[in-house]
Structure 1
Amino acid sequence: MALSELRHHIENIIFDLDGTLWDPMPMSIKAWHTALNGFDCIKNPISEEDIQGILGMQHDLVGKKLFPYLSKEQQDEVMNSCYVQEVNDIKESGGVLYHGLEDTLKILEGKYNLYIVSNCQAGYIEAFFEYHGLGEYFKDYECSGNTGLSKTENVKMVIERNNLSKPIYIGDTMGDYTAAIGNQIPFIFAKYGFGDVPNPDHNINKISDLRDLL
């Protein structure tokens, strides 16, 4: 089914955030380096590849992957510092919005209700809205930092509490694809993001491609 034909089968659009609506890498790298400089227990510097490798991962699982040599208590302390620094940095300087994002949201909002479900920490989506002024386009949002749940469960939560009919999920990782499949809803793969989804039913090369849903 062509993307343009999908518009007849959806009424609501749920977005992932990182790698789908914006590129957080420059902000994240700066924030993590700032936060980790305060910990003598960190053995090796965090690289861009390290951070890119955890984008889309449920936020409470990241510490175990990046710092397996630390105790759970140390992991939690380090990760909380990084997450707080990220939120503060977003509020101060934002991130890199994908080209044409706001124009695309403005157009889509005229036909669909828009939502966000991300595996980020609490306060991250709110900071994104605050700095970039995009909150007005979204009816609701959820993240694992608020609920402690998986993306599949959070997508389900947003669908149920908003009584959504014919929703679709848009993201850039296998975790996003799994969340869509777990809720039995269509998935659009953002090829320009950070992940890889083999043989998706639908994909976009840039955020403005979503105008084909009109």
Structure 2
Amino acid sequence: MLINKPDSLIFDMDGTLWDAVDTYAESWNIVFQQLGIDMVVRRDDLAKMVGWEGKKVHAVLMPDFDEEKRQYIYAKVNELRRELLPKNGGVLYEGVKDGLKQLAAKYQLYIVSNCAVGIIRLFMDWAGINEHIIDEIAYGTNYMPKHYNIRQLIERHDLKTPVYVGDTEGDGEQSRLAGIPFVFVSYGFGNTDDHDLRFDNFTGLTKHFMNL
């Protein structure tokens, strides 16, 4: 799909704008400890699941529990995560904060992520980027696939030529299902050859779109 000048950029969050896997893993491990569950979630294992929908994540992490218990534990994890993120945050990728500031002067900026309700806003507060992001949708808002939520934003804001920016093969697949171009950033958690544009750092992405 040929990318001409878009009117908007819709960003994935984890692996695209920041890396908060250490804090995510900590939230799992604290809850497991509190509940007396002899399990440990390691960074490397969790990093492979970044971008997955919640149900898929906790099915893989907790295969021996029924769905009701998985949901209970996952709710506890997200409750703790909302406490930890403002304090511990994550690692904002190089060039993101200044890049978003520049891009917001020329494009409408949005975030769609497969995370729990409230996590995107906590990230935005922590990173100090609220003024640059017009709207966001998390998977936990409606438990719908990412392509559905991308389309929701497109319809809500009457976007004409949006693109989606993400770091995984799944992001590319969801962009295709939403019917919009996919911009792949290679510094995140995934890899794919199915993209319309590729950037190895956020600064390069910013320069490209600012020069259109």
Shorter-chain TM-score category?
over 0.9
Moved over 3 A (4+): none
> Following TM superposition, by how much is the alpha carbon of 1:66 offset from its aligned partner in structure 2, in angstroms?
1.1
Aligned residues: 209
> After superposition, what is the alpha-carbon deviation per residue over 1:83-132, rounded to whole angstroms, capped at 9, x for unaligned?
12222111223211001111100111111000000000011011112222
Residue from 134, 139, 154 that aligns with 1:159 = 154
Q: CA deviation at 1:9?
A: 3.1
Q: Equivalent residue for 2:123?
A: 128
Aligned pair partner of 1:180 in 149, 168, 175: 175
Superposed CA offset, 1:10-31 (max 9, x none): 1100000000000112221222
TM-score by length of 2: 0.93
Please give the alpha-carbon distance, in whole angstroms, between the structure 1 residues aligned to 2:200 and 2:82: 28
Aligned to 2:191: 196
Q: Does residue 19 of the first structure (1) align with residue 20 of the second (2)?
A: no
2:29 maps to 1:33:
yes
CA contact (8 A) 1:173 1:197 kept: yes
Q: Secondary structure at the match of 1:65?
A: helix
Computed over aligned residues only, the root mean square deviation of the Cα atoms, in angstroms, reads 1.6
Deviation at 1:198, TM superposition (A): 2.4
Letter aligned with residue 184 of structure 1: G
The amino acid that maps onto 2:181 is P
Task: Work out which of the residue numbers 57, 69, 73 in structure 2 matches 1:74.
Answer: 69
For residue 20 of structure 2, what is the amino acid of its counterpart?
Answer: P
Structure 2 distance, partners of 1:131, 1:192, is 21
Q: TM-score, normalising length from structure 1?
A: 0.92
